[in-house]
Structure 1
């Protein structure tokens, strides 16, 4: 079998709609992955396009750094395309790819931890956005969800994103996270409880008036 080329374009359209995850779409993505493994360049493009948004959302929430999501997504696909010759379709291509994405984020965090920090705030713009009052223009539901998820412990956040945002079955989420399915269910339940509590707390806060 010929390994798929690692130089394939890994950029999806900037405003691509969120894909609806179904068993059929997973089967299609897996077929494309297998065809890409055998050297079909068109299948490579379709495989990347089908799963690009899911990978980007996952690495963004898992890393807690949306600004690094593009680089982490790119690295995930480069690793995946370089390993396609070992993909046998025993799991769905989505599950296989998200496992690679998880390792990519972990490696990135480990690398960052080894570098000396020059200041407590590496990115002042990102820090400013995090403290922006919710009543100001530009604040939307997506930012609100990201802020709420950031307040969760890492393992609960990952379980919630995999199952509730990306739509993975609990069994596949357990495979991606390398933990028992019961653990995933427990983490999701606790994440939901925490998010409900955070939402109620936010609703009790008086709105901050926008500047005149």
Structure 2
């Protein structure tokens, strides 16, 4: 079942999303939706949300507390709609959305640091039944991995989620995080080692925010 959307004050409201199977995310239909949105057709943004809601929820759900996921996903799509003129079709629309989602999570982390009374409420529970980590090592191991990721610094967590959970290439990861491919590869090696130590009982390792 794909994501369900409904009208609010913005162009769409995002709800729980299911997988989207067998779709070409760079096809002429997608470009047509974007062109219609830019021409003022607000309804044309709805199928873009339906197509990418699960992806956006997946990225945010592995980087932010579960209680914040729906709100941050809504903010991501609203920002994408409001700044669609800034999207350049040389890049994949999904990559551009991931950049916005990661930035929204970063904004929320910065805001949370200014709300120390809420800092103990983080819950990084991932609730997608068919996430890549669940398929690879089973639900119990997937939940353990999610808990370990939550112990990393935000920069390391972003990189590992994009590369090894969302299975993006290093070129895309570097583009989303605003770094070079070489730097992303080096950071990935170090972050994987930190994660391995956490999974093996080596404790918490802070990374770059």
TM-score (norm 2): 0.71
Deviates more, 1:159-168 or 1:32-41: 32-41
Q: Is the 8 A contact 1:6 1:82 kept in 2?
A: no
Matched, 1:45 2:46: yes
Which residue does 1:166 correspond to in 2? 166
Runs of 4+ residues over 6 Å off in structure 1: none
Backbone CA RMSD of aligned residues: 3.1
| Contact kept in structure 2, 1:30 and 1:94, CA below 8 Å | no
Matched position secondary structure for 2:83: helix
Higher relative contact order (CA 8 A, sep 6+): 1
> Which runs of no fewer than 5 residues in structure 2 stay unpaired?
1-7, 126-138, 203-209
- 2 CA distance for matches of 1:29 and 1:106? 32
Q: Distance in 2 between matches of 1:10 and 1:119?
A: 26
Q: Is the 8 A contact 1:29 1:50 kept in 2?
A: no
Contact in 2 for aligned 1:98/1:176 (Cα 8 Å): yes
Structure 1 residues 50 and 110, CA, compared in 2 at 3 Å: closer, same or farther?
Answer: same
Match of 1:132 in 2: none
Q: Is the contact between residue 12 and residue 78 of structure 2 (CA under 8 Å) also seen in structure 1?
A: no
The secondary structure found in structure 1 opposite 2:117 is coil
Q: Please name the residue that 2:18 is paired with.
A: 16
Residues 10-45 of structure 1: CA deviation (Å, up to 9, x unaligned): 324x3612x4698x3244685243443334455311
Equivalent residue, structure 1, for 2:117: 118
Distance in 2 (alpha carbons) for counterparts of 1:157 and 1:119: 21
2:37 aligned partner: 36
Change (3 A) 1:149 1:21: farther
- The alpha-carbon distance between structure 1 residues 94 and 186, as it changes in their structure 2 partners (threshold 3 A), is same
The Cα offsets for residues 80-111 of structure 1, whole Å up to 9 and x where unpaired, read as 11111332313111111111122222222222
Shift of 1:6: 7.1
Partner of 1:67: 67
